[in-house]
Amino acid sequence: MTLPMDELWYSVYIITLIYCAILIPFTTFWYESDFDATVAQKIWNSSFYVVMSAVFVALVLFLCWYYTGYANFEVSIVQSGMMLLSQFDAYQGIHSCIRANQDQTGLDKTTLTDFSIMDSSYLSGDLCDSKSSEAIRRTFKIDVSFPAYVAALASFVGWFLFAPYAGIGMAASPFDSILRFMNRPKKTIGKSEYDRQAEQIALKALELHEKIKAVRNDERNNGRSRRIRNELKNLSVEMEQIEDEDRELQKLYPRGEDRVTAWTLTVWGYWFSLFYGIIALILSITWILHVGLYILAKEPVHPFLNSLFKELDSVFNLFGTATFALYCFYLISCVVKGNEKLGLKFLFVLNAYRMKLGATTMTGLLFNTGLIMLCSTAVAQFCSRAFATYAEDTSAIKMLSVNVDHLQNIGVMFREDVFPAIFVAFSCASMVFYVFIKAHLGWFDKKKKEAIALQNRNRKGKFARMFTRNKSKKSTATTTNVQMSTINET
């Protein structure tokens, strides 16, 4: 007994579409509703917007399927005459095909070729070779079912997010983990050093607070110009840097009764980050090589990872399957990493619903969940294309590769491997950025931060006097309050 895999694949894609088009938007509108709204008002407002968006998506899908829901398959028609095996040795000139007898209606393929009428040189032909110029080619148009078209269109849309996200994540996942280990703190600090650094962070937060107030006043007086938007953007980046410094400071001075345990777990976390970075680097390099050798080449140069999976299966069936799953799930992790790094900046949307550890809003989390779920449709289609040799004759290959490649209009993007080429381009560009730019220029950034820290240490002014007059014994509480006021102002 076999499972109905076609129906299961269609169900997965349709459920993903329902999540992205109905459930996630409904929950997002629910959280975006007014705080004073009643439950009935929230349900009404959320349902109204979701119904409108669902009707729009349904109309787009139906119209696209109605007018372009066809798959074009090119078929080569081959034909050949017939001869007895006993005649083969006598006619060695027939090296490729046997021409059929000619009659008044054309070629007669139902009777044995009459060698007494035609010589052997004439009999040799290429009509039975599908790749020859003499072969007849015809195109057949086949209707595609609505679930299959929805799966193909979801993969097509998901590729526009998957290519940049996964491409950037291929470099960001390993290098961010390795750089985090390289820049790790080597030891804890004492209370006096902690208070001094906390004072510097609070001074920066107070100064940033005053800058934001000044920009807000300028905005109220002169309007929201491009200059003010750029200043607010820079202040937002500066605020994130202050938050990162405060987060790192808390790691250097663990508090509580189990300070030793907390510091030990922190050290283990950095070593685990190094281990993950090395594994991720190996996975990223092999992924890029596999795409170049197996997908982008006009004819596959080498099956590469497909051969690896088969070799592991020959040792034990679970090994190949587990490694196959590892590479697939790593793609999803790269998508999440790329989404965290890039957001929607490539669509010229300024940090909309950006994800940040410990500072992601509920609506931002829901919105990015929808983006990642949409990318997962492209991940499934990409893996079916990349591992076609290993997963041959499966329902996924039939639905996500064969049918999708021959769809009208959008099929050419898959046949010509346009999206995998964009994915490799983003991956290589990100690798260059991390290896040659960030790793090299990061040294200058570190020196610059040290110079700024030295200036802050010797800074004297109204912010230092303000903080000194209001200094309390608990520097952490002061820093937190200042940061919260800064965030509210922003």
Q: Is residue 139 included in any domain, yes or no?
A: no
Same domain (yes/no): 233, 103: no
- pLDDT-above-90 percentage for the chain: 19
**pLDDT at site 75:** 78
> Could you tell me what percentage of the chain is helix, strand and coil, using 3-state DSSP and rounding each to the nearest 5?
70, 5, 25
Domain match, 28 and 43 both: yes
Domain's final residue, options 72, 99, 117: 72
Structure confidence at residue 473 (pLDDT): 42
Kindly state whether residues 235 and 106 are assigned to the same domain. no
Q: Is the pLDDT confidence value at 38 over 70? A: yes
Domain boundary among 27, 56, 72: 72
User: Residue 144 domain-assigned?
Assistant: no
Residue 308, pLDDT > 80, answer yes
Report how many domains make up the chain.
3
- The answer to whether residues 63 and 186 belong to one domain is no
Report how far residue 243's alpha carbon sits from residue 231's, in angstroms, rounded to the nearest whole number: 18
pLDDT confidence of residue 283: 95
| Structural domain contains residue 265 | yes
Does position 119 have pLDDT exceeding 50, yes or no?
Answer: yes
Q: Which residue type sits at 136?
A: I
- Same domain for 417 and 446, yes or no, is yes
Are 248 and 336 members of one domain? yes
Residue 252 and residue 395 in one domain: yes
The tens digit of pLDDT for each residue in 49-66 reads 889 888 988 898 899 888
pLDDT of amino acid 212: 87
**Residues 118 and 159 reside in one and the same domain:** no
Note down the domain range covering 58.
5-72
Residue-level pLDDT at 334: 94
- 142 found inside a domain: no
Distances (CA, A) of 390 to 24, 279, 305, 306: 35, 23, 9, 5
Residue 65 shares a structural domain with residue 98: no
Predicted local distance difference test score (pLDDT) of residue 28 = 87
- Stretch (H or E) spanning 202: helix 191-222
Residues 285 and 341 in one domain: yes
Query: Among residues 2, 58, 6, 4, which one has the least CA distance to residue 400?
Result: 6
**143 domain-assigned:** no
Q: Tell me, yes or no, whether 283 lies in a domain.
A: yes
Cα→Cα distances 178→185, 280, 449, Å: 14, 10, 20
Query: Are 315 and 409 members of one domain?
Result: yes
Same domain for 46 and 154, yes or no, is no
How confident is the prediction for the chain on average, in pLDDT? 78
Kindly state whether residue 31 falls inside one of the protein's structural domains: yes
Q: What is the pLDDT of residues 447-486, one digit of tens each?
A: 545 544 554 455 444 444 444 445 444 444 444 444 444 4
Has residue 207 been placed in a domain? yes
The residue among 48, 72, 96 that closes a domain is 72
Condensed to tens digits (0 to 9), the pLDDT of residues 357-371 reads: 777 778 888 888 888
